[in-house]
Structure 1
Amino acid sequence: MSAIAGILVTAMVTPALAVTGIAANNSIGMFENLPSYIKPDALAEKTNIYATQSDGTPVLLASVFEQNREEVGWDQISPFVKDAVIATEDPRFYSHGGVDIASTLRAAAGNALETSASGASTISMQYVRNILVQKAESIQDEAERDAAYKEATRTSVDRKLKEMKLAIGLEKEFSKDDILLGYLNIAPFGGRVYGIQSAAQYYFGVNASDLTVAQAASLIATVNEPNGLRIDEPENIPDNQARRDKDVLPSMLKEHKITQAQYDEAIATPVTANIVQPSTGCQTANPIGAGFFCDYVTHVVKNDPAFGADEDTRWTNFKTGGYQIYTTLDLDLQNAAKSAMDTYVPYTYDFDLGGSLVTVEPGTGRILSMVQNKDFSDDPEVTATNLGASAINYSTDYAYGGSTGFQVGSTYKIFTLAEWLKTGHSLGDVLNGNAGTLNLSQFKDSCTGGNGGTYSVKNDGGSNPGNVTVMQATRDSVNLAFLRMAQKLDQCEIRKTAEAFGVHRADGDPLGENPADVLGTNEIAPLTMAAAFAAVAHQGLYCSPIAISKILDSTGNELPVPQSTCSQAVDPNIAAAMAVALQGVVNGGTGSQSNPNDGIPHLGKTGTTDSEKDTWFVGASTKLATAVWIGNVVGTVSIRNTSIAGESGGNVRHDVWKQYMTDADGKYGGDAFPVADRTLVNGVQVQIPNVAGMSVDAAKAALTTAGFDYQDGGVIDSTQTAGTVDSSSPAGTASKGSTITVFTSNGQLRTVPNVVGMSPDDAKKAITGAGIEAGQIAFEGPSGGNAKVTATNPGAGNPIRFGSDKLRVTTKAG
């Protein structure tokens, strides 16, 4: 039939074109030279994004599309639809070869003056036109796209001839059923609704297989003028019903596709829409707080070359590729995360309050939950008026739809801790934790050469804990101890260790490595910190975060997806020792309020930035690592000094983490962390030399020789000779490499001798002989005869300041 149609059309075009002024001797050649083959491209289909229920069942989070289309098979379409379109648009569909010659000849005269090119379009020809339009719409360049669309839709005889030639070629390659199926899947039904399945779902809330005669006829009526007859706009319903009742249903009856009874019933049925809005865009995932995770998935696709050569191509492929994206999101954990966030962090507040919670699975990098105290919306009109909505994902990097990050405070100390342990130190090493002014030139930096000047620092709350072990410094988050640890390390290597844990700034700039950065001044996303702590919890193995488990294309074939890359950030023994220290934070340290106390071991670290504008708790079990950030999105309001929903703001991070992890532990459980090497925990214990009475230089040499670091503790009141060493802290034993603080005597103290039982005169001689001035002695009681000393205040063996303190001597008659 196609061959015959080609011959007949070739013979037919000469008189048809001659009337239009085209020379007859050119007409046949022009037709013969037209392209004869067109291949249907993959249809633009909506992409669906899924989370996972406990039983593994996928649950739709959202759909993203340019054309709301779901391609279906032959058996998934009601026979009434097929019959309606054939009876109305092309009754001789199954008997012609792509062009209905009789209809074309009748239309030729009417179209001779090119006032219209309508009429005589078979289903095959309409399918060709839709294919050409689809191809035009897939062009990336806007000018090329507009030109191709105009060419595919312009009213002209030569465009009609091109359709004929391509329709004939199409019928040589495909069966009639395949052409009809392709037409029904590609056809526009108004707005962004394409294809019979999406049209059935959108307009009537049913699948294409379940359409009634009346519904099928109404949808087929729409294809004649999709935007003018779409029934989601009430003003169009009368025109749709008129075309249905005057053209579609009578044609079906005439062609014996329906019975008289079916016709009567359908005519009596008013056109009534049951509009079911499609899940479109990530905001539809907001009810479970997953709008931002959904948006993160879209940015993963935009940023990964696996989905196209550039971002525009990748985004187009995403919106039109009909992907089925199965994500790592665990609905149980997501619901628990949303519940915890909603309980403690309001969506709006007196200032721009932000809250984020994100969980990463140790050993896999799978992101299992992600929430914040906002609803996702990328509509500027919504976010401009609704402070509880945002397009900025607080959990992620700027390149993935996030902010430029937040200072992470003392959570960053774990990287100094890791480098400390890597370089042969231990948790038992002792350092001075008191506030002070540090010489920046004493901080080594093999990358930048270091800095000059001074840096005055205090501990949180102004505490001065004295000498502390690294274990205690971690538990209590002692700033000065960590800075003094950093003085013994290389700032460049601390940065490299952080990078080995996947840490990077959220804005894409390089990590800073100044001494202040030891205390967490780099601005980092919560997802990054969660992944870093996951590495500590999984024997030092860092796995980059991933959000996608599997992607199927529109044909059901599996596509490559971004994979987690895992690498050993630190040796497992180092990670085990880090876990020991970080468990202390949860068990009695600054993070004890976050402890679920549910029998599952946890590690973690608190973080609070300058002015308390950002507060953090990042922690993990062996199964889950979770970061919680509560802070200022913009501004510098003190979270600690703010009451949030009746709770002290500084505690909110703990409340959120504890409630969430209690629920999460109930599902995932957790094991004991690996046992750490004793030398990494306690260090090599060494006897500290007794340096009392030595010169400062001699004491420094003795301590250095024994393997300790000397630190000047300053001058104190002492009974030792002025300028000599009074004492050291600690004394006895300490781990090799510890800092021993040495205190120098000012010689201002004298030791009270034991004069009880002596006569007053003998007592006075003994006291002045001990270096105490006579003017400091105050006798109380008889002094003559047989008087004896019964007591002194201070008592024997106690110190007294030379020249100022009084020594009271009590006497009694013998």
Structure 2
Amino acid sequence: MSMLCSVYTSVIGAGVRRGGVLLKLFGLCVLAGVLVASLMLPAALGAGAAVNETTSAMSRMSKSLQKARMPLTTKVLDRNGDPIAYFYDDYRIPTPPGKISKTMKSAITAIEDKRFWEHNGVDWQGTMRALATNVSSGSVEEGASTLTQQYVKNYLVHVAADSKMERHDAKETTVARKLREARLAVELERTMSKEEILTSYLNVVPFGNQTFGVGAAAQTYFGTTPDKLTVSQSALLAALVNAPGALNPNVNPEDAKHRRNMVIDRMASPDNGIRITEEDAERAKKKPLGVLDPLGRPPSSCIGAGGSATNGFFCTYLRDYLNRAGFSDKELDQGGYTIRSTLDPKATKAAKKAAEAQIPKRSDEAANPMAIVEPGQDKHEVRALVANKDFGNDASEGQTAYDIVSKVQPWGAGSVFKIFTAAAAIQQGMSPYDEIPVPAEYTTHAFGGGKAWTVHNAEGVSPGSRTLQEALATSPNTGFVMLLEKVGLDNAVDMATKLGLRRSMTEVDENGYSLEEGEPTHAEAIKQHDKGSFTLGVDSVSVLELSNVMATIASDGKWCPPTPVTSMTDRNGDPVGLKGQSCEQVVSPHTAHGLAQGLGDDHKPGGTSHAAAKEAGWNRPLMAKTGTTQNYRSAVLVGATPQMAGAVMTYSTGGSPEGICVNGSAPPYQCGDSAGNLYGGTIPARTFYPAMKKIHEGKPVKQLPKVRGD
């Protein structure tokens, strides 16, 4: 080291006559001496104030660098194993040494560290040359960090740092940081092979465009894998390491190509450890950059991913589901999980097509979300969450990034809520074949603190007693208000919660908004206000949860949380357990079967959805119920076979929503609350039946369960 200092001092002294330069160089020689001493005496350095780290801490960091547990991309697959979304902070694809081409290794060592295969972690010759050049010029003209040192720095900045402050400290230009990096580099050279260090570096270094590591870079810029990188491709990637932002090839192609060709020339240099021929170099320099436009890096979100216009609502629900199961956003974005979801592409496509066929995606008048859930005794798997609108941020293109399918919406389901009154009645001993009175008009004092409340039936619903089954199919308001008096409001509300409206009843207020501290839940508010209109479905509700209500009935009264996940593995391929609610037998099979029979006529002649069912050619046993809110602003159809359950809600959109008019085959439009004619048997039913018919193709025809004893 003293010899190097003497040589460089002589050179500088001969070429530069300013005394300050020699003084600076003398200081650098002293610094270099300190560096050498620190590397030779690690224990002493560990106790010194210059670095302020203990030897044990450095040892732990060295082991961490060897293991290189980097943030990895989480991949979400559909039920067939095809990717639908990626979650990440930094896009990475870990790559083993045997999967990285020799040309890539040649390129990166040629431009970043030509003596990589010779030094022991710190290139003394390069360090002193760079120090001398930088001091004499008065600015940073040369760097001297080896690939090993760069690996240490990049790991500390992009992997180990957990905050902006830690990343700032890891990049700060200080003597202490340089000493720490050098010491760790030397330690790594003693414990790792050159091939391991080079691979670790290539897996952590940034290549720009939120892309880290050569695996992700090969995919992002060229749509290929690292083992297939050509000379020109490898050289461009190696060039980007110097200044990923400034050399972005899609923004600054001229400078990117200039530096790429510089890398190619150095790859052919006799000084390079892994050479290419002069002929290969000349051919490579004539190649165009060949960068993908747009880049091949998948977006990190539920927006913009493959099929996100259709799959985005499901993706959003899945992420929320995992958050609730204890996985933070950071864990999902860095954990490298593989999530096999329950999304069924066939069901999703069918539901999306049906929803959009009824209301165009660019409609400003109405939305038409649909949820599909598969019943089961040990799980209720979500098969599709779609809407007429695409999932995205461009409203002008008919997109929305708000989850209108699974989250609670500020719209009612109308007469669908009569299901809960009927379920309470059956649980209390009533048969679906028992008759209930249906007057044309009925005034009650049983709700709202004893105030008189007069109820009428919807147009076309004639008075006259009928069985509970017939009442569910024809939906008289008066009969169900009288039945609610008999079974009790609290019992009907509790039944709604049990059967599936968990978030709709217990996690939001009466307006469907998140609960404030001390505020009563939706269910509590209904009971406190003695709200008899509950059975008429005026309350906020989730489309997904309506579908799961039907899945509970189809599962013999067994409620399960609607799950979007089939399995989940960590970065090593090991299974990951998910915390969640267990399935519950919320009503007896007798009650569930009675309710299924009671709901079995809606699609038949006289039922509210018969016309739509006939038009779609529906020919399977089905339990179903329609509903419409008083001002025609929303309408719903829920239905299920023993194999699949679904729900559709059509509702008015915009800043001043009004009642919706349905006009033949033309798109629906807002026409005022008094003039509307939207019913559950119109748009919701015309969406439901074509979608469910397609989804049931190839499935055996199954009968609804018969009413039997418990």
1:291 aligns with 2:284: no
Q: Tell me if structure 2 keeps the 8 A contact 1:103–1:120.
A: yes
2:429 corresponds, among 390, 408, 424, to: 424
Partner residue, 1:625: 645
Is 1:131 the counterpart of 2:155 in the alignment?
Answer: yes
Residue of structure 1 in register with 2:486 after alignment: 488
- Is the CA contact (8 Å cut-off) linking 2:86 and 2:298 kept in structure 1? yes
3-state DSSP of counterpart to 1:494: helix
CA contact (8 A) 1:539 1:572 kept: yes
Change in Cα spacing, 1:118 to 1:156, as seen in structure 2 (3 Å) is farther
TM-fit CA distance, 1:136: 6.0
Q: Among 399, 412, 425, which residue is 1:407 paired with?
A: 412
Partner of 2:332: 318
2:384 alignment partner, one of 329, 354, 369: 369
SS of the residue corresponding to residue 599 of structure 2 reads: helix
Q: Which amino acid aligns with 2:371?
A: V
Q: Tell whether 2:361 aligns with 1:341.
A: no
**Superposed counterparts of 1:658-677, under 5 Å:** 658-677=689-708
- The alignment status of 1:569 with 2:586, answered yes or no, reads yes
- Greater radius of gyration (CA): 1
CA displacement, residues 699-727 of structure 1 (integer Å, 9 cap, x when unaligned) = xxxxxxxxxxxxxxxxxxxxxxxxxxxxx
Q: Which residue identity is paired with 1:358?
A: A
Distance change >3 Å, CA 426–CA 270, structure 1 → 2 = closer
Distance 2:637 2:424 in 1: 21
Native 8 Å contact 2:104 2:238 kept in 1: yes
- 8 Å contact 2:314–2:385 — kept in the other structure? yes
Task: Measure, in 2, the Cα distance between the counterparts of 1:250 and 1:517.
Answer: 77
Q: Supply the distance in 1 between the matched residues of 2:142 and 2:418 (Cα, whole angstroms).
A: 74
State how far apart, in whole Å, the 2-side matches of 1:577 and 1:135 are.
58
Partner of 1:239: 255
- How much has 1:581 moved relative to structure 2? 1.0
- From 551, 554, 562, give the equivalent of 1:545: 562
Letter in structure 2 aligned against 1:161: L
Question: 1:182-193 to 2 correspondence within 5 Å?
Answer: 182-193=200-211
Q: Hey, what's the Cα distance between the residues in 2 that align with 1:376 and 1:21? A: 62
Structure 2 counterpart of 1:45, from 51, 63, 72: 72
For residues 289-338 of structure 1, give each alpha carbon's deviation from its aligned partner in whole angstroms, at most 9, with x where no partner exists. Answer: 11211222222233331x1xxxxxx1122223233222110001111111
Secondary structure of the residue that 1:289 maps to in structure 2? helix
Q: 1:85-114 deviations in whole A, cap 9, x for unaligned?
A: 123222332332211232223334445699
Residue 533 of structure 1: how far off its partner (Å): 0.7
**For residues 669 and 524 of structure 1, do their structure 2 counterparts lie closer, same or farther at Cα, with a shift above 3 Å needed?**
farther
What secondary structure is seen at the aligned counterpart in 2 of 1:269? coil
Contact 1:100 1:122 in 2 (8 A): yes
Distance 1:31 1:212, change over 3 A: same
Query: What is the DSSP-based 3-state SS (H/G/I as helix, E as strand, rest coil) of the residue aligned with 1:457?
Result: strand
**1:66 partnered with 2:89:** yes
Counting only pairs closer than 5 Å after superposition, residues 386-785 of structure 1 correspond to structure 2 as 386=396, 388-397=398-407, 404-441=409-446, 451-461=449-459, 463-504=461-502, 505=504, 507-508=513-514, 509-511=521-523, 512-513=526-527, 514-561=531-578, 563=580, 565-588=582-605, 589-595=607-613, 597-634=617-654, 635-640=656-661, 642=663, 645=666, 649-650=678-679, 651-677=682-708
> Does 2:190 match 1:172?
yes
Q: Distance in 1 between matches of 2:237 and 2:30?
A: 40
Deviations 1:223-254 (A, max 9, x none): 11111122121xx2222222232344324432
Please say if residues 283 and 375 of structure 1, whose CA atoms lie closer than 8 Å, have aligned partners that are also in contact: no
How far apart are 1:271 and its partner, in Å? 2.8
| Residues 264 and 153 of structure 1: CA distance in aligned 2, closer, same or farther (over 3 Å) | same
CA spacing shift, 1:252–1:454, aligned 2, 3 Å: farther
Secondary structure of the residue aligned to 1:461 is coil
Query: How far apart are the structure 1 equivalents of 2:255 and 2:139?
Result: 24
Distance 2:31 2:260 in 1: 39
Q: 1:177 to 1:569 in 2, by over 3 A?
A: same
- Residue 425 of structure 1, CA deviation: 1.9
The corresponding residue for 1:249 is 265
Counterpart secondary structure, 2:578:
coil
Match of 1:244, SS? helix
Determine if contact 2:650/2:684 at 8 Å carries over to the other structure: yes
Higher relative contact order at CA 8 Å, sep ≥6: structure 1 or structure 2?
2
Which amino acid in the other structure matches residue 455 of structure 2? V
Alignment equivalent of 2:297, drawn from 278, 294, 297: 278
Displacement after TM superposition at 1:660 (Å) = 0.6
Question: 2:557 corresponds to which letter in structure 1?
Answer: G
Matched position secondary structure for 1:229: coil
Contact 1:98 1:164 in 2 (8 A): yes
Q: Secondary structure at the match of 1:86?
A: helix
Pick closer, same or farther for the CA change 1:49–1:476 going to 2, 3 Å.
same
* Structure 2 CA distance for partners of 1:171 and 1:559, relative to 1, 3 Å: farther
Between 1:361-370 and 1:584-593, the stretch displaced more is 584-593
Question: In 2, distance between residues paired with 1:429 and 1:176?
Answer: 83
Q: Is the 8 A contact 1:84 1:249 kept in 2?
A: no
Does the aligned pair in 2 maintain the 1:357–1:372 contact within 8 Å? Answer: yes
Instruction: Kindly state the Cα deviation for residue 417 of structure 1 after the two structures are TM-superposed.
Output: 0.8
Q: CA deviation at 1:222?
A: 1.2
Give 3-state SS (helix, strand or coil) of 2:167's partner: helix
Letter in 1 for 2:513: D
Deviations 1:379-424 (A, max 9, x none): 4xx33xx1611112221125xxxxx342011111111111101112
Aligned length: 633
**Aligned-pair CA distance for 1:642:** 5.0
Question: What are the equivalent positions in structure 2 for 1:101-140 lying under 5 Å apart?
Answer: 101-110=124-133, 115-116=139-140, 119-135=143-159, 138-139=162-163
Quote the residue 1:300 is aligned against. Answer: 321
1:255-276 Cα shifts (integer Å, max 9, x gaps): 2521232222223324332333
Q: CA shift at 1:133, angstroms?
A: 0.8
What is the DSSP-based 3-state SS (H/G/I as helix, E as strand, rest coil) of the residue aligned with 1:95? coil
1:97 aligns with 2:120: yes
Cross-structure match for 1:354 = 367
Partner SS, residue 488 of structure 1: helix
SS in structure 2 of the partner of residue 329 of structure 1: coil
Between the aligned partners of 2:112 and 2:347, the Cα distance in structure 1 is 53
Partner residue, 1:220 = 238
Q: CA RMSD in A?
A: 3.0
Q: Residue 269 of structure 1 corresponds to which residue in structure 2? A: 287
Provide Cα deviations, 1:458-516, integer angstroms capped at 9, x if missing partner.
Answer: 11116441222222211211111111111112211211111111214253542224211
Taking the aligned partners of 1:248 and 1:161, their CA distance within structure 2 comes to 32
**Per-residue deviation, 1:616:** 0.8
CA distance, structure 1, for counterparts of residue 457 and residue 314 of structure 2: 37
* % same residue: 27
Pick one of 102, 127, 131 that aligns with 1:79.
102
Task: Supply the AA of the counterpart residue of 2:349.
Answer: N
CA distance in 2, matches of 1:416, 1:118: 79
Whether the 8 Å contact between 1:117 and 1:157 is mirrored in structure 2 is no
Q: Does the 8 A contact of 1:117 with 1:156 survive in 2? A: no
Task: Give me the TM-score of the superposition, normalised by structure 2.
Answer: 0.83
Distance in 2, Cα, partners of 1:670 & 1:112: 84
Write 1 or 2 for the structure with the bigger share of strand: 1
CA shift for structure 1 position 23? 12
The one-letter code of the counterpart of 1:431 is I
